[in-house]
Amino acid sequence: MSVVTLFFSIKLITSDEVFYIGQHTTSGVISLLSLILILFLNKNKNILYNLPSFMNEDSLKREKIKKEIKTDEVYKYLINQIEKHELYLNDQFKLDWLANELDIKKEYISVTLIENNFDNFKMFSNYLKIKKAKELIKNGYLKNYNIEALAEASGFKATNTFYRLFKDDTGITPKMFSDNYLD
């Protein structure tokens, strides 16, 4: 709408028609400023997202938690403890269980994971399990065991889920990954 108003204002100003100079000039300036503001906000979307009126209740809660904790330190601690004790291999590995096991509020874990580009806990869990599978493959696991054993050793209950997630992550199958890595 601003572009159309600006276009017609410029056309009227440059034509020989009679008009009220203040009205069309003002309209043109306002439309130009609106257009500049729209382009600026489009390039700097975080300005709008950080305004409380544009945030939902969950986002406000997440922002409050981010001020209470240092997400990078919590993330380092999470990764350290989970990998050190291979907690992701436990059948009970879920957000509530992990929060209880590490004595961290589950909201803190959730915010920390979101801040580290994980949409949810399940995505984080799958990331850790696929990472484990890659390590096993690099250590020659598939020379002695099959894909089903690899899936189980990585913490997956279903081989087809493991296979799909591994291929989504790497773009290739576990066997191809093994062949490429060990060649």
**167 confidence band (pLDDT: 50, 70, 90):** very high
For the record, the structure tokens of 30 come out as 């306002």
Helices 121-138 and 159-170 pack at an angle, to 10 degrees, of 80
Residue 154 clears pLDDT 60, i.e. is over it? yes
Structure token digits, residue 56:
């939902």
Residue 54: pLDDT over 60:
no
First to last CA, the chain: 60
pLDDT band at 19 (very low <50, low <70, confident <90, very high): low
pTM of the predicted protein model: 0.66
Radius of gyration of the chain (CA): 27
Residue 14 backbone dihedrals phi, psi, to 5 degrees = -80, -15
- Cβ contact 87:55 at 8 Å: no
- What the chain holds in terms of domains, given with CATH numbers, is 2-43 (no CATH), 57-117 (no CATH), 124-182 (1.10.10.60)
- Among the listed residues 30, 102, 108, the one whose alpha carbon sits nearest the alpha carbon of residue 68: 108
H or E element in which residue 3 lies = helix 2-14
Assess contact for 62 and 114: CB atoms under 8 A: yes
Token output for 44: 């700097």
Separation between Cα atoms, residue 80 and residue 23, nearest integer Å: 66
Query: What pLDDT is recorded for position 43?
Result: 82
Structure-token pair, residue 90? 């436990």
CB-CB contact of 163 with 139 (8 Å): no
- Cβ pair 45, 51 in contact under 8 A: no
Q: pLDDT tens digits, residue range 108-148?
A: 899 899 889 999 999 999 999 999 999 999 999 999 999 99
Asked if residue 3 has pLDDT above 70, the reply is no
Q: Where does the pLDDT of residue 172 fall: very low under 50, low under 70, confident under 90, or very high at 90 and above?
A: very high
- The C-alpha atoms of residue 162 and residue 149 are separated, in whole angstroms, by 11
